[in-house]
Amino acid sequence: MTGIKTSSESVHIVGAGLAGSEAAWQVAHAGVRVILHEMRPGRMTEAHRTDGLAELVCSNSFRSDDAVNNAVGLLHAEMRRLGSLIMRAADANQVPAGGALAVDRDGFSAAVTRALDDHPLIEIQRAEIDGLPPADWRNVIVATGPLTSAPLAAAIREITDEDALAFFDAIAPIVHRDSIDMSAAWFQSRYDKVGPGGTGADYINCPMTREQYDGFVDALMAGEKTDFKDWETNTPYFDGCLPIEVMAERGRETLRHGPMKPVGLTNPHDPTVKAYAIVQLRQDNIPGLENAEFARLGGLHRNTFLNSPKLLDAQLRLRAEPRLRFAGQMTGCEGYVESASIGLMAGLYAAADARSAALAPPPATTALGSLLGHITGGHIETIDAGQRSFQPMNINFGLFPPLASPPTKKPDGTRLRGNDKTIAKKQAMSARALSDLDRWIADSLHVAAAA
């Protein structure tokens, strides 16, 4: 990086997980001193097992490494171009996993720990920050993750004025529109209600016969379930958003009289037959969804995260106290790679602040820009309208702005259709992202993009 100058102002980073480790690397790489505070091993979280930095608490996968067709693969590529330590350590500790990037977790964490330990501008302090960071820390990144220790979580709750930062949350799946079979499904709002901002045909409805409903409920009840760990048993469900299997356990007809009720809807493909139940949820045998492609699967986990669109500014600073910047899963992204990528951006912003320099945001067309847009702009609010609508998200092409002129033809001049069209769109979005990122790096960071 050219134009480096050292600064006497240190950046304090709290939490040396995926996000905090990447943030520390970026800040130090910009020539600014870092003090990295990690509470392990003195105090452990409920999921971490080691004292290593950037410990992977569950799977060892960074998911797809395909930068051409897959949004998380694209995020990998963008991070590599920005000199990411997390990606460098992952690449160096790769284990065979087909098209995915999976790592030897111990080697990966050891590589990150060593790189940060060895950096002359980084000091690692092993202690819990058990309240708001001291007032004389003027440039702070809080990256304490979904399992933030209780005293710090309480202090954050107090200054953000939010009732709850953690709950078991059921996350709705997201299905690619193109992949739904509209010869079985149809658009209609219940009772054709137009509502504020609607058209009367705002939902995609997938009908079920009695047999299909019974099969669905049986499969749901028989499905494999995750056991709660001890520390999870006291965390409540977010009751506006119960997992579907929890509802089904309350009675065979509960779903049919609840979210899957078939009233106020008429199937234009078969108007005289009343559906027994109607769903918009994933099951391989739900008519219309056999070939559905999912941008996000439904899920359930304990999570501590901020209502970021309301609380954070575009540079991830707490509006109420801008010396505090947030990064990682706490900001409402989901996943190892996404957490590290937001750490990367928080690091770049904090380093720019320390050097009294301005940093333009990454283009909205990039994976980094799209994810930041979701976090600080709350893109999803328009989809999940209602209370507490901001939900953690993996990176996916649904977060990217649409293409100005989507591809319509194959190289041989024939028309693109169905799946080919979706693939061509993703590829065009990826190409646009990388070329816009390179321009941003050259203009804003004065770094020669890696080949």
Ligand X SMILES: Cc1cc2nc3c(=O)[nH]c(=O)nc-3n(C[C@H](O)[C@H](O)[C@H](O)COP(=O)(O)OP(=O)(O)OC[C@H]3O[C@@H](n4cnc5c(N)ncnc54)[C@H](O)[C@@H]3O)c2cc1C
- Return residues touching ligand X (CB under 6 A): 14-20, 37-40, 45, 47-48, 57-59, 128-129, 143-149, 152, 328-330, 335-336, 339
Nearer to ligand X, 128 or 245 (CB): 128
Residue 425 beta carbon to ligand X: minimum distance, rounded to whole angstroms:
25
Residue 394 beta carbon to ligand X: minimum distance, rounded to whole angstroms:
8
CA distance 363 to 25: 22
List the structure tokens of 39: 């509470």
The candidate with the shortest Cα–Cα distance to 346, out of 336, 356, 331, 357, is 331
Nearer to ligand X, 334 or 353 (CB): 334
Nearer to ligand X, 330 or 437 (CB): 330
Residue 402, classed as helix, strand or coil, is coil
Residue 45 beta carbon to ligand X: minimum distance, rounded to whole angstroms:
5
Residue 52 beta carbon to ligand X: minimum distance, rounded to whole angstroms:
9
Position with the least CB separation from ligand X: 17
CA distance 160 to 72: 31
CB 348 within 8 A of CB 369: no
Nearer to ligand X, 13 or 286 (CB): 13
Nearer to ligand X, 24 or 129 (CB): 129
Report the phi/psi class of residue 119: left, alpha or beta, with left for phi > 0 and alpha for psi in -120 to 50: beta
CB 302 within 8 A of CB 294: no
CB 190 within 8 A of CB 198: no
The candidate with the shortest Cα–Cα distance to 109, out of 13, 17, 12, is 17
Nearer to ligand X, 122 or 185 (CB): 122
Strand partners, 64: 100
Nearer to ligand X, 175 or 393 (CB): 393
Report the phi/psi class of residue 278: left, alpha or beta, with left for phi > 0 and alpha for psi in -120 to 50: beta
List the structure tokens of 179: 């992949």
Nearer to ligand X, 64 or 370 (CB): 64
Nearer to ligand X, 148 or 430 (CB): 148
Residue 43 beta carbon to ligand X: minimum distance, rounded to whole angstroms:
7
Nearer to ligand X, 48 or 256 (CB): 48
**Could you write out the DSSP letters of every residue in 217-250?**
HHHHHHS--PPPPGGGTTSPB-TTS--HHHHHHT
Query: How buried is 96 (Cβ within 10 angstroms: 0-12 exposed, 13-18 middle, 19+ buried)?
Result: exposed
Half-sphere exposure of 65 (CA within 13 A, CB side): 16
Residue 153 beta carbon to ligand X: minimum distance, rounded to whole angstroms:
8
Look up tokens 């209502």; give the residue.
307
Instruction: State which H helix or E strand residue 352 sits in.
Output: helix 336-354
Residue 227 beta carbon to ligand X: minimum distance, rounded to whole angstroms:
12
Extended beta strands in 299-414, E state: 299-304, 317-318, 321-326
CA distance 415 to 413: 7
